[in-house]
């Protein structure tokens, strides 16, 4: 028992530092398909880099607590057909608010500064698992797009009908600055200093505030990351 206690103390109380770089793939999405969206016609992930510095305080040779400071672009383009979607748009310099039926293309490019706090488990010499929460702040918002080939009804689903050939919208300034949610990751060490990491973050705060009328449903940041980690050493 004494020998086990001494070994545990020798393997405890150290820091491990890492730098991570990779790409985000995912989208800002409702958790279930709204009835207003009839068909997703095209989804295109954008170039969305992830850069992070990570510090882990290991309590022993298996368990630790990690904190990251991360910069993340969360970006994509989606085109869909919609029916009676309550929205706001600009057409020929005139603002329209109502229920749109037609085609919609949305381009999202948001830059976040995030602070994840994660429980870390070194399950083997090569594999490491992490899980916890993150808090993010939106540094540079981008949520805009076009509406086309349809019509909008003013104020109500049976209101005055206006043909929409091409219209634009930009909801960037309406986005909520605070993002928070759950984060999980797995890393595989393939050399002395390098690891391959897969990560999933699931937002719990809607992209827009509850009183925003430009989009009729809540949207959440749901993204995966594929990244390479470089160990800066243990201290």
Q: In angstroms, rounded to a whole number, what is the distance separating the alpha carbons of residues 59 and 113?
A: 27
Residue ranges of the alpha helices (H) in the chain? 2-10
Looking at residue 28, its pLDDT comes to 92
Query: Cβ(61)–Cβ(14) under 8 Å?
Result: no
Is residue 5 over pLDDT 50?
no
pLDDT tens per residue, range 28-67: 999 888 899 999 999 999 999 999 999 999 998 899 999 9
pLDDT tens per residue, range 101-141: 999 999 999 999 999 999 999 999 999 999 999 999 999 99
Q: In angstroms, rounded to a whole number, what is the distance separating the alpha carbons of residues 51 and 69?
A: 9
Looking at residue 14, its pLDDT comes to 87
Q: Looking at the chain, how many residues does it have? A: 235
Looking at residue 155, its pLDDT comes to 85
- Going by pLDDT thresholds of 50, 70 and 90, the confidence category of residue 233 is confident
Looking at residue 8, its pLDDT comes to 41
Is residue 12 over pLDDT 60?
no
Looking at residue 71, its pLDDT comes to 97
Is residue 146 over pLDDT 70?
yes
Determine the distance from the C-alpha atom of residue 232 to the mean position of all C-alpha atoms in its chain, rounded to a whole number: 27
Is residue 6 over pLDDT 90?
no
Looking at residue 4, its pLDDT comes to 39
Radius of gyration of the chain (CA): 23
Looking at residue 61, its pLDDT comes to 85
Is residue 177 over pLDDT 80?
yes
| Percentage with pLDDT > 70 across the chain | 95
- Going by pLDDT thresholds of 50, 70 and 90, the confidence category of residue 9 is very low
User: What average pLDDT does the structure give for the chain?
Assistant: 91
Looking at residue 86, its pLDDT comes to 92
Determine the distance from the C-alpha atom of residue 2 to the mean position of all C-alpha atoms in its chain, rounded to a whole number: 48
- Say what the pTM is: 0.89
Q: In angstroms, rounded to a whole number, what is the distance separating the alpha carbons of residues 216 and 148?
A: 18
Q: Pick from 22, 12, 27: which is nearest to 54 by CA?
A: 22
Query: Cβ(220)–Cβ(30) under 8 Å?
Result: yes
């Amino acid at each position: 028992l004494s020998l086990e206690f001494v070994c545990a103390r020798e393997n405890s109380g150290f820091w491990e530092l890492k730098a991570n770089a990779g790409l985000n793939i995912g989208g800002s999405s409702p958790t279930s398909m709204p009835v207003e969206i009839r068909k997703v016609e095209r989804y295109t992930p954008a170039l969305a880099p992830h850069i992070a510095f990570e510090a882990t305080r290991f309590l022993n040779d298996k368990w630790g607590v990690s904190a990251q400071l991360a910069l993340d672009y969360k970006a994509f383009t989606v085109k869909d057909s919609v029916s009676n979607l309550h929205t706001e748009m600009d057409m020929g310099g005139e603002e329209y608010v109502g229920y749109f039926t037609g085609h919609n293309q949305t381009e999202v490019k948001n830059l976040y500064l995030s602070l994840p706090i994660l429980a870390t488990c070194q399950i083997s010499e090569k594999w490491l698992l992490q899980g916890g929460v993150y808090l993010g702040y939106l540094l540079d918002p981008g949520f805009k797009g076009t509406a086309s080939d349809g019509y909008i009804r003013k104020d109500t689903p049976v209101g005055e009908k206006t043909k929409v050939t091409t219209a634009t919208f930009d909801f960037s300034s309406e986005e909520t600055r605070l993002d928070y949610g759950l984060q999980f990751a797995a890393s595989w060490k393939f050399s002395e200093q390098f690891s391959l990491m897969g990560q999933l973050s699931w937002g719990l705060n809607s992209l827009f505030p509850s009183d925003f009328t430009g989009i009729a449903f809540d949207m959440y940041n749901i993204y995966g990351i594929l990244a390479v980690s470089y160990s800066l050493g243990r201290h």
